[in-house]
Structures are given as C-alpha cells and as structure tokens.
Amino acid sequence: MASRSVNKVILVGHLGKDAETRYTPSGTAVTNFSLATSRRWKDQQSGEWKEETEWHRVVYWRAENVANYLLKGKLVYVEGRLQTRSYEDKDGKKVYSTEVVCEDLILLSGGRGDAPAGPAEYGQPASSPRPAQARQPAPAPPDEGFNQAITDDDVPF
C-alpha cells in the first residue's frame, strides 16, 4: 500500500500591511505579505471571551500585478502549502522560517475606503475608518463596440 501525505493550507484573514512584489535575478515576480487570522473562544474558568491572533507569512510566486490589490486590511482567501526554509543569520546561527506558499488567492472584501471588513465582523469594535484613497476614473473605452478581444494578459492577476 502506498503512503499518502497532504500539505495543504487554507486561510481566510486580513492583510497586516500592503503586499510587496520583488523580482528574482531571472525576472520572476514574488509577492510577500502577512496575513492575520483570529480565533475566539469563551474561557471555561472565567466565562470571558478571549481572542488569539496568529500571523502568517505568505509568498505568492509569479503574480506580478496582485500587490496593487493586496492592501492593508483587505480580507483574502489563501490556499497553498507550508514550506520551511533555513538560513544562517549574521551571527552564523541557523534560523528556520515557515511560510505559506500561495497557490490560489481570492479577494473577499475591502479595506482602505471600501466597505468595512475588519474587527467589527468578528464582534469587536471597529477602529476609526480609513480615509478613501483618491481614485482616478478609468479611461473611456474606444468607441469600437463590444467586439474587443480580451486575453489573459489583460487580467490584472
């Protein structure tokens, strides 16, 4: 009988800061962001509600334009796998880092001027709303009717 194993992670959480995209020397895009997930439970002893927030480091390969949409406070669905890397720090000590390698990402809700999607959803008081970012209107489409071909290159992520 063959042995089976699974390395799958599914997270739904809020971005802790804006995502950053960098490029490897070969030109491959790599986007990094932090994701916060929370759990709430009622303490059996005191009867008080408690909350614990876990922070996850997420790496998304070959997603060049996605950082424009991954802004602090956005609620996202991330599906991927765990990967642990090791390296030596400046003192020569071996350091291990575990991250989620994203294979699928779905933007679920707003942040930064969109509908609130923060702590208030989880029964906590919402912090002061963020000011809406200045947005420029999209340019008017050329007057060529609806027969414009859309390719995969036109999709931002």
Q: Answer yes or no: pTM beyond 0.85.
A: no
At residue 141 the predicted structure's pLDDT band, cuts being 50, 70 and 90, is: very low
> Is 14 within the bounds of a domain?
yes
> Is 2 within the bounds of a domain?
no
> Is 3 within the bounds of a domain?
no
At residue 121 the predicted structure's pLDDT band, cuts being 50, 70 and 90, is: very low
The pair phi, psi for residue 146, each rounded to 5°, is -100, 15
> Is 60 within the bounds of a domain?
yes
Question: Higher model confidence: residue 156 or residue 137?
Answer: 156
> Is 4 within the bounds of a domain?
no
Q: What is the average pLDDT across 103-124?
A: 58
Q: Which domain holds residue 65?
A: 9-154
> Is 1 within the bounds of a domain?
no
Q: SS in 3 state form for the chain?
A: CCCCCCCCEEEEEEECCCCEEEECCCCCEEEEEEEEEEEEEECCCCCCEEEEEEEEEEEEECCCCHHHCCCCCCEEEEEEEEEEEEEECCCCCEEEEEEEEEEEEEEEECCCCCCCCCHHHHCCCCCCCCCCCCCCCCCCCCCCCCCCCCCHHHCCC
The pair phi, psi for residue 107, each rounded to 5°, is -75, 125
Contact 16, 55 (CB under 8 A): yes
Total domain count for the chain? 1
pLDDT at 61: 94
pLDDT at 69: 92
> Is 67 within the bounds of a domain?
yes
> Is 91 within the bounds of a domain?
yes
Q: State the CATH number of the domain containing residue 135.
A: 2.40.50.140
